[in-house]
Structure 1
Amino acid sequence: MFRDWTRFEKVWLLLFTIINIYLFYAFQDSLLGLISSLSGMLCVVLVAKGKIANYYFGIVQTATYAYISYSYSLYGEAMLNGLFYLPVQFIGLYMWSKNRTQQSVKGEDVSVKRLTKRGWVYLIIIAAVGIVLYAELLHYIGGQAVRLDSAAVVLSIIAQILMLKRYAEQWALWIAVNVLSISLWVVTLLTQGGNDFNMIVMWSAFLVNSIYGYYNWTKLSKAQEAYNL
């Protein structure tokens, strides 16, 4: 499984796994939180590597994270994961399987695409409108930290769509999502209490991985373009 992993990927996974296990025992974090965090880390590092197997771990992570978010009244996060991310894992399995790369470049499974300037303009407009409208909905149903929650959810949906379509620019949005999600869980745990510190560790690990993912997918895109010349 780890044959084509880089040293960074191995160290990143080992470091955050140790932190998660320490928090689980030291602060009596929930077992569900530990499972969600570990499966989520395996999922995102496999996405960064362009591996279809990421979706198997994604199924576990999205289901457990949806339940945890609901228990803290983070309804945007709960709906995003339970109603969108979870079924999308199965769609992603199908779409990535249909678009496997025909060459071997750093061991990735799928071909990588790039977003145009016009695509970025459309993306920004859709994101801005979506964040405002969804924040109003979350406020109406009594959600917590609705602005942070809305921004994290809307950007996550757009990033997930870009991921399904195999665009490298998904990682720019994941970086923003991870920063927002870290802030969301810090605010939530400080205001509501709770011992799910694994959620902060998980999103911090996601942030590091998303920066690496942007770098790796950009490099893969260039390598695939060179191969096809």
Structure 2
Amino acid sequence: MGMFKDWTLFEKVWLGVFTLVNIYLFFAFKDSLLGFISSITGMLCVVLVAKGKISNYYFGIVQTSSYAYIAYTYGLYGESMLNTLFYFPIQFIGIYLWKKNLTKVQTIGEDVSVKRLDQKGWIYVIGTAVVGSIAYAYLLNAIGGQQVRLDSAAVVLSVIAQILMLKRFAEQWVLWIMVNGLTIVLWVIVLLQTGGNDWAMLVMWSAFLVNSIYGYVNWLKMHKQQHNIQGEAYELRHSN
């Protein structure tokens, strides 16, 4: 089955249900084709991130470029700039960095080695998030953006989470959980106010929220297994 050979039953069922929901929305509510493509590729991307697979970045290239245009048409300039200026180019950087840090141990099918964030790291993350969100909200307000506080918080947290993802920290998923929750609220407000029909965006972000919880659990498991295997290998080398 190629890409799906090491997928769990949960992952296969989850992706299948999500795809069927998007197909229904596409026909029932006349969703845009671009929204459908963005939603499907986005789901493939985040599931593959949760599995620690480098191939997530290839789907991310399609998702970020399509989502940037959709967000722009709804006046979500923060979301649009985030995807155009940050997420899209970062996909290529991610491919390069993850290829340099492949795991050398066989655990649960992942490609990349996993790290954990310490207390000092959390202090930097929280401080940067607070200051960055306030500053970016002023910028979005100045250019006439919609829902600038929610948009700003979601964007700044997304940037930090993406950096943690590039550096392979499991704690990226804590930030993704917050980002996905904020973005769901953002899209509900915008779609109701504008009467837009891109409901696939709301489904996509709801699926992202569930996946981020799964991703956090999976990455903690990956880190523990990698750490245990590396520890056993270290003891074996020094006992000979």
Same fold (TM over 0.5): yes
Instruction: Deviation per CA, 1:135-189: give whole Å up to 9, x if none.
Output: 0100000000000000000000000000000000000000000000100000000
Instruction: Tell me the secondary structure at the aligned position of residue 52 of structure 2.
Output: coil
Aligned to 1:191: 193
How far is the alpha carbon of 1:8 from its aligned partner?
1.2
Residue 220 (structure 1) aligned with residue 229 (structure 2): no
Aligned to 1:71: 73
Q: Distance in 1 between matches of 2:135 and 2:22?
A: 35
Structure 1 counterpart of 2:4, from 2, 5, 11: 2
Q: Distance in 2 between matches of 1:77 and 1:52?
A: 24
Residue 204 (structure 1) aligned with residue 203 (structure 2): no
Q: Distance in 1 between matches of 2:83 and 2:143?
A: 18
One-letter amino acid of the structure 2 residue matched with residue 109 of structure 1:
D
Instruction: Deviation per CA, 1:52-82: give whole Å up to 9, x if none.
Output: 0000000000000000000001000000001
Aligned to 1:23: 25
Residue 37 (structure 1) aligned with residue 36 (structure 2): no
- 1:119-198 to 2 correspondence within 5 Å? 119-198=121-200
Q: Distance in 1 between matches of 2:68 and 2:4?
A: 29
What is the percentage of aligned positions where both structures have the same residue? 70
Residue 50 (structure 1) aligned with residue 52 (structure 2): yes
One-letter amino acid of the structure 2 residue matched with residue 184 of structure 1:
L
Q: Distance in 2 between matches of 1:126 and 1:58?
A: 25
Q: Distance in 2 between matches of 1:74 and 1:204?
A: 18
How far is the alpha carbon of 1:7 from its aligned partner?
1.2
| Structure 1 residues not aligned, in runs of 5+ | none
How far is the alpha carbon of 1:109 from its aligned partner?
0.2
Work out whether residues 35 and 201 of structure 2, in 8 Å CA contact, stay in contact via their aligned partners in 1.
yes
Q: Distance in 2 between matches of 1:96 and 1:12?
A: 25
One-letter amino acid of the structure 1 residue matched with residue 92 of structure 2:
F
Instruction: Deviation per CA, 1:13-72: give whole Å up to 9, x if none.
Output: 011111000000000000000000000000000000000000000000000000000000
Structure 2 counterpart of 1:84, from 86, 89, 92: 86
Q: Distance in 1 between matches of 2:153 and 2:17?
A: 29
How far is the alpha carbon of 1:192 from its aligned partner?
1.1
Q: Who wins on radius of gyration, i.e. which is larger?
A: 2
TM-score by length of 2: 0.95
| Structure 1 runs (4+) greater than 4 angstroms displaced | none
| Structure 2 residues not aligned, in runs of 5+ | 232-240
How far is the alpha carbon of 1:118 from its aligned partner?
1.0
Q: Distance in 2 between matches of 1:11 and 1:182?
A: 22
Aligned length, in residue pairs = 229
How far is the alpha carbon of 1:104 from its aligned partner?
1.4
Aligned to 2:236: none
TM-score by length of 1: 0.99
Q: Distance in 2 between matches of 1:13 and 1:180?
A: 22
One-letter amino acid of the structure 1 residue matched with residue 205 of structure 2:
W
Q: Distance in 1 between matches of 2:178 and 2:130?
A: 13
Work out whether residues 64 and 84 of structure 2, in 8 Å CA contact, stay in contact via their aligned partners in 1.
yes
Q: Distance in 2 between matches of 1:151 and 1:118?
A: 22
Instruction: Tell me the secondary structure at the aligned position of residue 4 of structure 2.
Output: coil
Aligned to 2:116: 114
